[in-house]
Amino acid sequence: NAGVMQNPRHLVRRRGQEARLRCSPMKGHSHVYWYRQLPEEGLKFMVYLQKENIIDESGMPKERFSAEFPKEGPSILRIQQVVRGDSAAYFCASSPRGFSTSSYEQYFGPGTRLTVT
């Protein structure tokens, strides 16, 4: 059973460009979460998605950031017009169940390290 997959692993963008980060959850997992980790800091929740639905985007900046998890294909975190402050590691995690059911485990992907120059 393959783990959570993320690509690219490293992404360099110039200020003003767009960044697209992809996440494929573990097989059988339909819940996807995105977290951001700034250098030498903890993990901050950004968004929680199920297939074709955004469940909680309370941690997502209001502008320039968007996320989707289509019926087919990976979840995508999109950052438009990147700025230097967007440089961070972006991790996605997946789980087989959501909060409304019994407690669940989240398993993390290897992360995408975004560098904005």
Partner 1 sequence: GENVEQHPSTLSVQEGDSAVIKCTYSDSASNYFPWYKQELGKRPQLIIDIRSNVGEKKDQRIAVTLNKTAKHFSLHITETQPEDSAVYFCASNTGKLIFGQGTTLQVKP
- Residue numbers at the binding site for partner 1 (CB under 8 A): 33, 35, 41-45, 48, 55-56, 58-59, 91, 93, 98-99, 103-111
Q: How far is the CB of 111 from partner 1 (least distance, A)?
A: 6
Measured distance CA(51)–CA(48) in Å, rounded: 10
Mind spelling out the 3-state secondary structure of 28-80? Answer: CCCEEEEEEECCCCCEEEEEEEECCEEEECCCCCCCCEEEECCCCCCEEEEEC
Q: How far is the CB of 42 from partner 1 (least distance, A)?
A: 5
Q: How far is the CB of 103 from partner 1 (least distance, A)?
A: 4
Which of residues 17 and 68 has its CB atom nearest to partner 1 in the complex? 68
Measured distance CA(32)–CA(30) in Å, rounded: 7
Which of residues 99 and 117 has its CB atom nearest to partner 1 in the complex? 99
Which of residues 16 and 98 has its CB atom nearest to partner 1 in the complex? 98
